[in-house]
Amino acid sequence: MGNKTKGLLALLGLGAFAYWKYKNSSAEEQQAVKDKINNAKDNLNKWGNDLKDKANNVASQVQDKVDEVKNKAEEQMN
């Protein structure tokens, strides 16, 4: 068996154990797990949106510079 197969089996085993543990935990514990997952999702989405905003800001700054240079060039031609 290769290392990748062993790693995959270990991961599957861990997942199965986590699932079994989750299924056998109380409603409060299950809710806590769900909350953790939702918080992680929210943080990921927020991080993704922050990145998108930053990218859009940079893109619009670049566009502004391009427009500025274009306008200057047109003024000099006239």
In this prediction, residue 1 has a pLDDT band, given cuts at 50, 70 and 90, of confident
CB 25 within 8 A of CB 14: no
Specify the pLDDT at position 78: 83
- Residue 46 corresponds to which amino acid? K
- Angle, helices 3-23 vs 27-77, to 10°: value is 120
Segment 71-78 mean pLDDT? 91
Specify the pLDDT at position 72: 93
Specify the pLDDT at position 59: 94
Q: What is the pLDDT of residues 16-67, one digit of tens each?
A: 999 999 999 999 999 999 999 999 999 999 999 999 999 999 999 999 999 9
Specify the pLDDT at position 51: 95
